[in-house]
Amino acid sequence: AQTVTQSQPEMSVQEAETVTLSCTYDTSESDYYLFWYKQPPSRQMILVIRQEAYKQQNATENRFSVNFQKAAKSFSLKISDSQLGDAAMYFCAYSQGGSEKLVFGKGTKLTVNP
């Protein structure tokens, strides 16, 4: 079974600084997708960024970028120029084949200090 591990239960960053959230996963499949979702307190889960496993180029969405290391099965999220609104739980998730269930890590709580 596929597993997703987020080894940092909590992280903090100063406003305007850069922070990296770690994620590793375990799979024997070659066709899969990886995602980072953000869940602000008492608000719904929203997609931050996604990566297709067959693409070597790391995905980027504005201030958010990933470092996808397929051989190492690592998928970290970098947030640049952190803003107060970035404070949330961040979940790393895996999906096999593109239409299947998401397997989530336990999450990393990010605090942004002014």
> Which residues here bind another protein, judged by CB under 8 A?
4, 33, 35, 37, 43-47, 50, 91, 93, 95, 98-107
Q: Which is nearer to another protein, 46 or 84 (CB)?
A: 46
Least distance in angstroms from the C-beta of 99 to another protein: 6
**Total residues found in the chain within this entry:** 114
In angstroms, the CA 73 to CA 69 distance is 6
Q: Which is nearer to another protein, 16 or 47 (CB)?
A: 47
Q: Which is nearer to another protein, 10 or 81 (CB)?
A: 10
Least distance in angstroms from the C-beta of 66 to another protein: 15
Nearest to 34 by CA among 45, 23, 42: 23
Least distance in angstroms from the C-beta of 9 to another protein: 9
The structure tokens listed for 69 are 């290391």
Q: Which is nearer to another protein, 5 or 113 (CB)?
A: 5
Nearest to 77 by CA among 87, 69, 67: 67
Least distance in angstroms from the C-beta of 78 to another protein: 20
Burial 87-107 (b: 16+ CB within 10 A, else e): bbbbbbbbbbeeeeeebebeb
